[in-house]
Amino acid sequence: MKRKTWTHRLTGLFLSVAVFTTAMGGAATKADAAPAADLQLAAKSAILLEASTGKILYSMNPDAPLPPASMSKMMAEYLVQEAVKQKKISWDEKVPVSEYAFYVAKISDTSGVYLNAGESFSVRELYNAMAVVSANDATVLLAERIAGSEANFVQMMNKKAAEFGMKNTSFVTSSGLPANELGPYSVKTDQVENLMSARDSAILARNLIRDFPEALEVSKIPRLTFRPGSKNELKMANNNWMLPDLNNYYQGVDGLKTGYTEAAKNCFTGTAVRDNMRLITVVMGADTKSKRFVETKKLFDYGFSNFKLTKQMDKNAPVKGFETAPVKNGVELSVPAVTGSEVKVLTKIGTEAKFTPTVTFQDLNAPIQTGQVIGKLVLKEEGAGNSDYLQPEDAAKAGVDVVASQDVEEASWIRLFFRSIIQFFSNLFSSGTGK
Strand partners, 235: 225
**Residue 318 sits in the same domain as residue 404:** yes
Last residue of one domain, picked from the residues 250, 273, 308? 308
**Residue 299 sits in the same domain as residue 335:** no
Is 73 a residue of the active site?
yes
Greatest mean pLDDT among 14-18, 232-236, 384-388 lies in 232-236
- DSSP per-residue string spanning 260-271: EETTTEEEEEEE
pLDDT at residue 275 is higher than 60: yes
Assign residue 372 the CATH number of its domain: 2.60.410.10
Residue 38 lies in a domain: no
- pLDDT score recorded for residue 28: 32
- pLDDT score recorded for residue 6: 38
**Residue 300 sits in the same domain as residue 320:** no
Active-site hit among 44, 55, 59, 70: 70
Last residue of one domain, picked from the residues 308, 327, 343? 308
- pLDDT score recorded for residue 385: 65
To the nearest whole number, what is the mean pLDDT of the chain?
A: 88
pLDDT at residue 15 is higher than 50: no
Residue 273 burial by Cβ neighbours in a 10 Å radius (0-12, 13-18, 19+): middle
**Residue 78 sits in the same domain as residue 186:** yes
- pLDDT score recorded for residue 32: 31
Q: Work out the average pLDDT over 12-18.
A: 37
Is 305 a residue of the active site?
no
Residue with more model confidence, 407 or 37: 407
Band of pLDDT at residue 16, cut at 50, 70 and 90:
very low
Is 111 a residue of the active site?
no
Residue 151 and residue 166: Cα distance in Å, rounded?
20
Across 148-152, 160-164, 282-286, 356-360, least confident range: 356-360
Element (H, E) at 13: helix 2-31
Band of pLDDT at residue 419, cut at 50, 70 and 90:
low
Residue 299 lies in a domain: yes
- DSSP per-residue string spanning 37-53: P----SSSEEEEEETTT
**Residue 174 sits in the same domain as residue 66:** yes
With beta carbons less than 8 A apart as the criterion, state whether 263 and 178 touch.
Answer: yes
Active-site hit among 44, 55, 73, 297: 73
- pLDDT score recorded for residue 423: 67
- DSSP per-residue string spanning 20-77: HHHHHHHHHHHHTTSPPP----SSSEEEEEETTT-BEEEEESTT--B--GGGGHHHHH
Residue 74, domain extent: 45-308
Active-site hit among 59, 111, 134, 175: 134
Assign residue 229 the CATH number of its domain: 3.40.710.10
Q: How many domains does the chain have?
A: 2
DSSP 104: H
Residue 359 lies in a domain: yes
**Residue 283 sits in the same domain as residue 181:** yes
Band of pLDDT at residue 411, cut at 50, 70 and 90:
confident
Residue 247 lies in a domain: yes
pLDDT at residue 4 is higher than 60: no
Last residue of one domain, picked from the residues 308, 340, 373? 308
**Residue 266 sits in the same domain as residue 409:** no
**Residue 194 sits in the same domain as residue 271:** yes
**Residue 266 sits in the same domain as residue 323:** no
Residue 147 lies in a domain: yes
Band of pLDDT at residue 22, cut at 50, 70 and 90:
very low
pLDDT at residue 321 is higher than 90: yes
Residue 368 lies in a domain: yes
| pTM reported for the whole predicted model | 0.83
Residue 399 and residue 396: Cα distance in Å, rounded?
9
